Amino acid sequence: MCEKKRYLCGNIISCFMSKLLIVGTVAFDAIETPFGKTDKILGGAATYIGLSASHFNVPSAIVSVVGDDFPQEHIDLLSSKNIDLSGLEIVKGGKTFFWSGRYHNDMNSRDTLDTQLNVLESFSPKVPDNFKNAEVVMLGNLHPLVQLSVIEQMSERPKLVVLDTMNFWMDVALDDLKKVITKVDVITINDEEARQLSGEYSLVKAARVIAEMGPKYVVIKKGEHGALIFNEDHVFFAPALPLEEVFDPTGAGDTFAGGFSGFLAATEDYSFENMKTAIIHGSNLASFCVEKFGTERMQTLSRDEVRKRLMQFKALTQFDIDLQ
Ligand code: AMP
Q: What is the DSSP secondary-structure string of 225-265?
A: G-EEEEETTEEEEEPPPP-S-----TTHHHHHHHHHHHHHH
Instruction: Indicate the pLDDT class of residue 4, thresholds 50, 70 and 90.
Output: very low
Q: Angle, nearest 10°, between helix axes 45-53 and 252-267?
A: 40
| Rounded Cα distance, 137 and 133, in Å | 10
pLDDT mean over 240-256? 92
269 Cα–ligand 1 center, Å = 28
- Cα 25 to Cα 138: distance, rounded to the nearest angstrom: 12
Rounded distance from Cα 315 to ligand 1 centre (Å): 32
- The per-residue b/e assignment along 242-258, b for 16 or more CB within 10 angstroms, e otherwise, is eeeebbbbbbbbbbbbb
Q: Tell me, what DSSP letter sits at residue 103?
A: E
With 90 as the cut, is the pLDDT of residue 136 above it?
yes
Average pLDDT over every residue of 123-151: 97
**70 closest CA partner among 86, 52, 91:** 91
Residues forming a β-bridge with 190: 221
Closest-CA residue, ligand 1 atom 5, reads 251
Three-class secondary structure of residue 286 per DSSP = helix
Separation of CA 46 and ligand 1 centre (Å): 9
What's the pTM?
0.94
Label residue 58 exposed, middle or buried (CB < 10 Å: 0-12, 13-18, 19+). Answer: buried
Atom of ligand 1 nearest to the CA of 255: 3
Of 196, 184, 119, the C-alpha closest to 158 is 184
Name the DSSP class of 182.
T
Q: State the distance from the centre of ligand 1 to the C-alpha of 117, rounded, in angstroms.
A: 11
168 CB near ligand 1 (under 6 Å): yes
Output the CA 98–ligand 1 centroid distance in Å.
9
Q: How many angstroms does the Cα of residue 165 sit away from the middle of ligand 1?
A: 9
Give the pLDDT of residue 134: 98
> What is the spatial distance between Cα 61 and Cα 82, in angstroms, rounded to a whole number?
9
Report pLDDT for 72: 98
What is the structure's pLDDT at 17? 64
Q: Is the CB of 184 under 6 A from ligand 1?
A: no
Q: What is the pLDDT of residues 252-305, one digit of tens each?
A: 999 999 999 999 999 999 999 999 999 999 999 999 999 999 999 999 999 999
Residue-wise pLDDT for 6-44, tens only, equals 444 444 444 456 899 999 999 999 999 998 999 999 999
Q: Verify whether ligand 1 is closer than 6 Å to residue 30 (CB atom).
A: no
pLDDT tens digits, one per residue of 59-70: 999 999 999 999
Q: How confident is the model over 180-228, as pLDDT tens digits?
A: 999 999 999 999 999 999 999 999 999 999 999 999 999 999 988 999 9
Q: What is the number of the ligand 1 atom nearest to the C-alpha of 256?
A: 3
Q: Is 146 in the pocket of ligand 1 (CB under 6 A)?
A: no
The closest residue, in CA terms, to atom 20 on ligand 1 is: 142
CA of 51 to the centre of ligand 1 (A): 15
Whether pLDDT at 319 is above 90: no
pLDDT in tens, 157-175: 999 999 999 999 999 999 9
**Which of 118, 90, 119, 41 is CA-nearest to residue 299?**
41
What is the average per-residue pLDDT within 88-100? Answer: 98
For residue 48, give the ligand 1 atom closest to its CA. 10
Q: Whose CA is nearest to atom 13 of ligand 1?
A: 44
Confidence at residue 244, expressed as pLDDT on a 0 to 100 scale: 85
Helices (H) and strands (E) in the chain, counts: 11, 17
Instruction: List strand residue ranges (DSSP E) for the chain, in order.
Output: 5-7, 13-15, 20-23, 27-33, 36-37, 41-43, 60-67, 83-84, 88-91, 98-103, 110-116, 136-139, 160-164, 186-190, 217-221, 227-231, 234-238
Report DSSP letters for 184-215, one per residue. Answer: -SEEEEEHHHHHHHHS-SSHHHHHHHHHHTS-
Closest residue by CA, ligand 1 atom 11: 44
- Phi, psi at residue 79, to the nearest 5°? -65, -35
Atom of ligand 1 nearest to the CA of 257: 3
**229 pairs with which residues across the strands?**
219, 236
158 CB within 6 A, ligand 1: no
Section 115-144 average pLDDT: 97
Q: Give the burial string for 84-95 (b: 16+ CB within 10 Å, else e).
A: bbebbbebeebb
Q: What pLDDT is recorded for position 107?
A: 83
